[in-house]
A and B are shown apart, each in its own frame.
Chain A
Amino acid sequence: MAMLQSKSHASAFPRCLLATSLLLLAASLSHAQTKNSCLDCHSALPAQLGVTQEQFSHDVHEQKGLTCVSCHGGDPSSDDPAQAMSRKAGWKGPIERRQIPQLCGSCHSNPDFMRRYNPGLRTDQLAQYHTSVHGKRLAAGDSKVAVCTDCHGVHDLRAPNDPQSTVYATNVAKTCSHCHSDAHTMAGYKIPTDQYAKYTTSVHSQALMVRGDLSAPTCTTCHGNHGAAPPGVASVPQVCSTCHVFQAQMYEKSSHKAAFDSAKLPGCVVCHENHAIAHPTDAKLGTGPGAVCMQCHTPGDRCDQAREQILSQSTQLDTAIKAADQELALAEASGMEVSEARLGQNEARDALTKARVAVHSFQVKEVSANVQAGLKTANKDLAAGQQAMVERNHRRIGLGLSLLAIAIVLPGLWLYIGKIEK
């Protein structure tokens, strides 16, 4: 037994030594794999060359397991800058702006490569970029134009669905404005620099920025993102119609379509503008401030008469809805139950919206059909509100009579009590 034990101890020693050696080897290999001398040095460098671990940890590439080497090459396992950034180790040297789209595209245009990380992501960004104004100018040698990193950032590049990403829906306009609102950068391109200022006043900006409606349009919705270009005169209605489907359908069938096309006018923009698109009101159909029809039409002509009728009907329904709302609010404030009529008001409001959409057909009968349906509902709701107020008055008269009866009985009882207690 003792012999066996001693033998067992003797054979355990080499096994233990082997295990320890393997562990040390694994640890050193692991250290070699995770070591990133790039960040060790660059985190201490000033702004232009500086990248901290904290910054890089937000980068979607870092989160997917890519490192500095993936874009820059080099040897991150070496602490010697000369070795780490040697051509021999595959270091690519400083990356020039004009090389950036190609560098990004080397992965992002490769479906096989991208499938490993994000199979759902498109791989045509570079191809689209080449068709954009930015891409064309870059190819022509203008390195001032936007490249991938100008919009997406670099080293802390976040996924577009990250609210802190520079290309998140609510941040896109601001990102574009960095160049497009800068008169110095834009000098020489002969384009205005007030698009962002105008956009922030628009109904689209209100929906996106104030109400947080992420489906509301920002710059890239109309101009495209990687293939960014101003929509041509002919394509404006198509761009708007991606959201405003019914208006576009009516416009396509209207007489304005042919007239605008022949005059080479940019469709929707003629009446609604492009960046400063305000919430449309009936005033646009009028003749006062904000009116648009009379900018082209002659007072008293056939179109002016149609405009007058459309405006008058739309206003009539709007007034009827407001009157019913007022009456119902009064009835509700008196505690009357008018929820059915309130529901009906939504129908009337829908009809008004449809009538305003039908304005894009520029046909009186199209607008009239919706207005009449809305008027019928609004008048019914107004009558319900008035009936509720009549009912409220009846109740108050009933209450008055009941209180009078009680007021007569109480002294009577008091007198009777006094009489029996005398």
Chain B
Amino acid sequence: MTVLQNVGNWLSERLEWEELIAPLKKKTVPRHRLSYWYFLGGITLFLFIIQVLTGILLLLYYRPGASEAFESVQYIMTQVQFGWLIRSIHSWSANLMIFTAFAHMFSVLFLKAYRKPRELTWVTGVVLLVLVMGFGFSGYLLPWNTLAFFATKVGTDIAGQVPVIGHPIMVFLRGGEEVTGATLTRFFGFHVAVLPGLVFLLLVIHLLFVQRQGMSVPPRVEKEWEENPAARRELKFFPNFALRELMAWYVGLGVLGALAALFPWNLGVKADLFASAPAGIKPEWYFLFMFQALKLIPSKIWFMDGEVVGILTCALVGLLWMLLPFFESDRKARSQHWITGISVFALIFVVTMSVYGYVAK
């Protein structure tokens, strides 16, 4: 018996983990031609773990405050051993995480994995995506550079347009009427305390749902398996699926490392509160589709302000999007068709608006 086994037995006697991991040993994952889409959620989780680890390391040197934030990030990038790597991985990983979260959401839609009984998994997933975008928005300001400063100004301005509650929300987000050092401190608090707490809670719930309900099988594959039960194939979650997931994580790690080494995240120029906004300022790519859509709305729609209509429409669409699984009627085939139609439209809309926003002046 090896030392490792001895330690394992010793711990098992005290923690009784055999019982804890028993469900994992029994757990299986459906195996079919679309199984690779299952990896997206795991990759998003992997990138989140990277975010937490690199974020903790950055916290050792980062100093929130208008007079120190930029300099501290500059110090991390130039003086701290491997500081450039940690910061670049943190920034790249954040962007990749939002991308994989979006991809995961659309894969769930197209594979129809949101269906009963997984409605709440979908709801927690959509809320998680919103929170992850909140991570992006709050984290973008932390280096306190010119682009971040004006992007935050524009972003919080948009929030301020909401009737009645808009202005109080804007003041709450900014810590005052304007974007200042108080906003930075506040965003730092959201980024390292509030959002991680909420995301952790929802992530646990989301994963518990996934574990309890297992992986969804696409309707077409399900039908094939019903017609031919011999074709049904499954994979043990541990170690078979976990090892495959590990391979995906390794690939993700390689991509992250390559991006960080070949394209270190730019620091930009320190924010100047009295400077005029750079021409053609745009938000980060994941907000671009909403930004561009708002820009295309006429300034006046009937008697209402166009921007207000746009913001309220965005909020309403977001809410309906979160509740999408609940709109499925009992006549499944019919509702699935229109939900798939909406999903295709949403994907085309997001991609087109993002590209248009990127190329538009």
Binding site for B on A (CB under 8 A): 335-337, 339-340, 395-396, 398-399, 402-403, 406-407, 409-410, 413-414, 416-417, 420-421
Contact = CB atoms under 8 A, between A and B. Distances in A.
B254 interface: yes
Contact of A410 (B250, B257, B266): B250
Nearest to A337: B77
B267 interface: yes
Nearest to B265: A335
A420 B85 CA distance: 36
A345 to B, nearest CB: 15
A396 B262 CA distance: 7
Contacts of B266: 335
A370 to B, nearest CB: 28
Nearest to B257: A402
B261 A395 contact: yes
Nearest to B254: A406
B213 interface: no
B78 interface: yes
A255 to B, nearest CB: 46
Interface string B225-262: 00000000000000110011011001101100110011
B74 A337 contact: yes
Contacts of B262: 335, 396, 399
Interface in B63-100: 74, 77-78, 84-85
Contact of A337 (B243, B253, B257, B267): B267
Contacts of A399: 257-258, 261-262
Given A406-B251, A413-B250, A421-B240, 4 more contacts: A403-B254, A414-B247, A417-B240, A417-B244
Contacts of B239: 420
A333 to B, nearest CB: 11
B264 A337 contact: yes
A410 B251 contact: yes
18 contacts: A335-B262, A335-B264, A335-B265, A337-B74, A337-B77, A339-B269, A399-B262, A403-B257, A403-B258, A406-B250, A406-B251, A406-B253, A406-B254, A413-B243, A413-B250, A414-B247, A417-B240, A420-B240
Contacts of B274: none
Contacts of B78: 337, 340
A259 B235 CA distance: 98
Interface in B247-293: 247, 250-251, 253-254, 257-258, 261-267, 269
Interface residues of B, number: 25
A46 B263 CA distance: 71
Contact of B247 (A336, A396, A413): A413
Contact of B84 (A337, A403, A409, A421): A337
A339 B270 CA distance: 11
A414 to B, nearest CB: 7
Contacts of A410: 247, 250-251
Nearest to A398: B261
A407 B251 CA distance: 9
A415 to B, nearest CB: 11
A408 to B, nearest CB: 10
B243 A417 contact: yes
B240 A339 contact: no
Contacts of A398: 261
B89 to A, nearest CB: 12
Interface of B, secondary structure class, is helix
B250 A335 contact: no
Contacts of A396: 261-262
A380 B265 CA distance: 25
A417 to B, nearest CB: 5
A339 B254 CA distance: 28
A308 to B, nearest CB: 41
A301 B80 CA distance: 57
Interface string B321-342: 0000000000000000000000
Which 10 interchain pairs have the tightest Cβ spacing?
A335-B264, A399-B261, A337-B77, A406-B254, A395-B261, A417-B243, A337-B78, A413-B247, A402-B257, A406-B250
B240 to A, nearest CB: 6
Residue from B84, B247, B253 with most neighbouring chain A CB atoms (10 Å): B247
B267 A336 contact: no
Contact of B254 (A340, A402, A414): A402
B246 A413 contact: yes
A416 B246 CA distance: 12
A336 B264 contact: yes
A398 B85 CA distance: 11
Contacts of A420: 239-240
B227 to A, nearest CB: 26
A403 B253 CA distance: 9
Contacts of B250: 406, 409-410, 413
A406 B264 CA distance: 20
A395 B74 CA distance: 18
Nearest to A332: B266
Contacts of B246: 413
A417 B235 CA distance: 11
A407 B250 CA distance: 9
A341 to B, nearest CB: 10
A301 B108 CA distance: 86
A403 B85 CA distance: 15
Nearest to A407: B254
A339 B261 contact: no
A406 B249 CA distance: 10
B244 to A, nearest CB: 7
Given A337-B78, A406-B253, A416 B263 contact: no
Contacts of A395: 84-85, 261
Nearest to B76: A337
A403 B260 CA distance: 13
A337 B267 CA distance: 7
Given A337-B84, A403-B257, A416 B243 contact: yes
Interface string B96-139: 00000000000000000000000000000000000000000000
A91 to B, nearest CB: 54
B143 to A, nearest CB: 11
Contacts of B261: 395-396, 398-399
Nearest to A402: B257
A402 B267 CA distance: 25
B31 to A, nearest CB: 11
A335 B240 CA distance: 40
Nearest to B270: A339
Contacts of B74: 337, 339-340
Contacts of B263: 335
A417 B262 CA distance: 32
Given A399-B257, A399-B261, A421-B240, A339 B247 contact: no
